[in-house]
Amino acid sequence: MDYGPSTMDYHPCTKVNEYQLTKKKSLLHKAGGQEDNMKVAVVGATGLVGTKMLQVLEERNFPVTELVPVASERSVGKEVEFKGAKYKVVTMADGIAAKPAVAIFSAGGGTSLEWAPKFAEAGITVIDNSSAWRMDPTKKLVVPELNADALTAEDKIIANPNCSTIQMVVALNPLHLKYTIKRIVVSTYQSVTGTGKKAVDQLFNERRGEEGPMAYKYPIDLNVIPQIDVFLDNGYTKEEMKMVKETKKIMRDESIRITATTVRIPVIGGHSESVNVEFENDFDLDEVKQLLADAPGVIVQDNPAEALYPMPLWAHDKDEVFVGRLRRDESQPNTLNMWIVSDNLRKGAATNAVQIAEYLASKGLL
Ligand code: 2RA
């Protein structure tokens, strides 16, 4: 979707960022070997995440031999563009009948609960971006940098985690492997793009002083809303509990203690997270920086002397997870403070899903 001119196009710091940022390949596994039949369906192809899926598939040159864009009845017949060609959006049933090798779903939990099993029964591997299957013990919840190795040809519905969880675990996992995480306290600052197009429109309408439909109960411009998704009986929001439960499942460690506060702010470039993490073992700050610098998909932006730290402005439309403000928590032993930023529509959704597809293709699992 087009938000108008990108902040990256005119911000004076862009040059500094590009200069200081040593781009690291986050691609784990190049897809290949099945180019003769890599028919790919994108379900929810006209939504904010679906559109990003198409962009990421094209940019990463996933070997799509034929695209099958699928969407709800009201979008059927519309056209989407992919690699310079136009494709007509088809129904769910036609999507199944086209027999793609893989279907990347971003169409909401209800649609996924109803349709993902039907695609799977037809032998199509589903990578699902909704929360429908994430905590199902029979389904794998995958962030390729951490646990793609668990995937087999029998996994016909694979869950893509929540955006705020993905960026946190990509940054924490290398540290967990070395020092063993005991407890995580995370507060998020989340982009309106996580809510969808209506929320992006609300923000820009408010900025222009125009009336329009409200995605949130309150104005979002010049505001901070400490609620993402609905409240649960324990006083936490569903987004907060997703972070708690999904982190343990992806990191394959139920003993990690974690508490979260998730907050919506008026930005579009990505989600930011303040993370306080306590380890079993002590760490050396230089070693922490090196572990993160070496970690797949992570870029360290940490130079206080030059005011260099991750920001959504710079993470926007990038695939990596950016980490900075690394410092010891002086109030208790073995504890680190960090600031983690990533584009929620890319690594938090589309890129992670496409990386799963890349892994499956590279292993001949599609
Ligand atoms: C949000 N995490 O940012 C959600 C999107 N899945 O609202």
Full DSSP string of 292-329: HHHSTTEEE--BGGGTB---HHHHTT--SEEEEEEEE-
47 in helix, strand or coil?
Answer: coil
Percent of the chain clearing pLDDT 90 (strictly above)? 90
Long-range contacts of residues 215-223, Cβ cutoff 8 Å, at least 24 apart:
216/264, 220/192, 220/264, 220/266, 221/266, 222/266, 223/266
Ligand 1 centroid distance, CA of 166 (Å): 11
Residue with tokens 């190795």: 149
**Is the domain of 188 the same as that of 308?**
yes
**Is the domain of 296 the same as that of 223?**
yes
**Is the domain of 327 the same as that of 242?**
yes
Q: Could you confirm whether 11 is annotated as catalytic?
A: no
Alpha helices by DSSP H, 47-162? 48-59, 92-97, 109-121, 144-147
pLDDT digits (tens, 9 = 90+) for 14-70: 333 343 444 454 444 455 445 566 999 999 999 999 999 999 999 999 999 999 999
Question: Measuring from atom 3 of ligand 1, which residue has the nearest CA?
Answer: 194
Measure the CA–CA gap between 122 and 96, rounded to whole angstroms: 7
pLDDT digits (tens, 9 = 90+) for 315-348: 999 999 999 999 999 999 999 999 999 999 999 9
The CATH number that applies at residue 33 is 3.40.50.720
Measuring CA to CA, which residue among 326, 344, 201 is closest to residue 272?
344
The two structure tokens encoding residue 273: 């997270």
Residue 117 in any domain: the answer is yes
Residue 37 in any domain: the answer is yes
Task: Mark residue 90 as left, alpha or beta (left: phi above 0; alpha: psi -120 to 50; beta: remaining).
Answer: beta
Query: pLDDT tier at 4 (50, 70, 90 boundaries)?
Result: very low
**Is the domain of 218 the same as that of 358?**
no
What's the DSSP call for residue 118? H
**Is the domain of 175 the same as that of 273?**
yes
Q: Does residue 6 register a pLDDT over 70?
A: no
pLDDT digits (tens, 9 = 90+) for 132-165: 999 999 999 999 999 999 999 999 999 999 999 9
Residues 6+ positions from 325 with CB-CB distance below 8 Å:
302, 304, 309, 337, 338, 339
Catalytic residue (choose from 11, 176, 271, 316): 271
Q: What is the mean pLDDT of the chain?
A: 92
Q: Average pLDDT for residues 184-189, to the nearest whole number? A: 99
**Is the domain of 74 the same as that of 205?**
no
| 53, 216, 228: residue to mutate for ligand 1 pocket, most atoms within 8 A of CB | 228
Measuring CA to CA, which residue among 47, 87, 44, 46 is closest to residue 64?
87
pLDDT at 253 (0 to 100): 96
Q: Does residue 243 register a pLDDT over 90?
A: yes
Residue 171 in any domain: the answer is yes
Measure the CA–CA gap between 119 and 97, rounded to whole angstroms: 9
Neighbours of 171 (CB within 10 A): 26
The two structure tokens encoding residue 20: 């200081």
Ligand 1 centroid distance, CA of 195 (Å): 6
Q: How many residues does the chain have?
A: 366
Contact predicate 230/238, CB 8 Å: yes
Question: Measuring from atom 7 of ligand 1, which residue has the nearest CA?
Answer: 194
Q: Does residue 7 register a pLDDT over 50?
A: no
Residue 2 in any domain: the answer is no
Residue 340 in any domain: the answer is yes
276 in helix, strand or coil?
Answer: strand
Q: Average pLDDT for residues 109-128, to the nearest whole number? A: 98
pLDDT at 21 (0 to 100): 47
What's the DSSP call for residue 346? I
Q: Average pLDDT for residues 278-297, to the nearest whole number? A: 98
- Domain membership of residue 140 as a residue range: 7-161+348-362
**Is the domain of 119 the same as that of 203?**
no
pLDDT at 31 (0 to 100): 52
**Is the domain of 157 the same as that of 181?**
no
- For ligand 1, what atom is nearest to the CA of residue 131? 6
**How many angstroms separate the Cα of 141 from the Cα of each of 15, 62, 67, 229, 252?**
37, 21, 25, 20, 10
As for ligand 1, residues whose beta carbon falls within 6 Å of it are 162-164, 190, 194-195, 228, 239, 344
Residue 275 in any domain: the answer is yes
**Is the domain of 157 the same as that of 238?**
no
Percent of the chain clearing pLDDT 70 (strictly above)? 90
pLDDT at 131 (0 to 100): 97
Structural domains in the chain (count):
2
Q: Could you confirm whether 163 is annotated as catalytic?
A: yes
The CATH number that applies at residue 169 is 3.30.360.10
Q: Does residue 202 register a pLDDT over 50?
A: yes
Residue 1 in any domain: the answer is no
Residues 6+ positions from 98 with CB-CB distance below 8 Å:
39, 41, 66, 68, 90
**Is the domain of 208 the same as that of 310?**
yes
**Is the domain of 190 the same as that of 155?**
no
As beta bridge partners, residue 208 has none
**Is the domain of 150 the same as that of 220?**
no
Q: Average pLDDT for residues 119-134, to the nearest whole number? A: 98
pLDDT digits (tens, 9 = 90+) for 89-107: 999 999 999 999 999 999 9
Task: Mark residue 230 as left, alpha or beta (left: phi above 0; alpha: psi -120 to 50; beta: remaining).
Answer: beta
Ligand 1 centroid distance, CA of 207 (Å): 22
pLDDT digits (tens, 9 = 90+) for 248-263: 999 999 999 999 999 9
Ligand 1 centroid distance, CA of 162 (Å): 7
pLDDT at 36 (0 to 100): 60
Residue 332 in any domain: the answer is yes
Measure the CA–CA gap between 328 and 280, rounded to whole angstroms: 14
Residue type present at position 134:
R
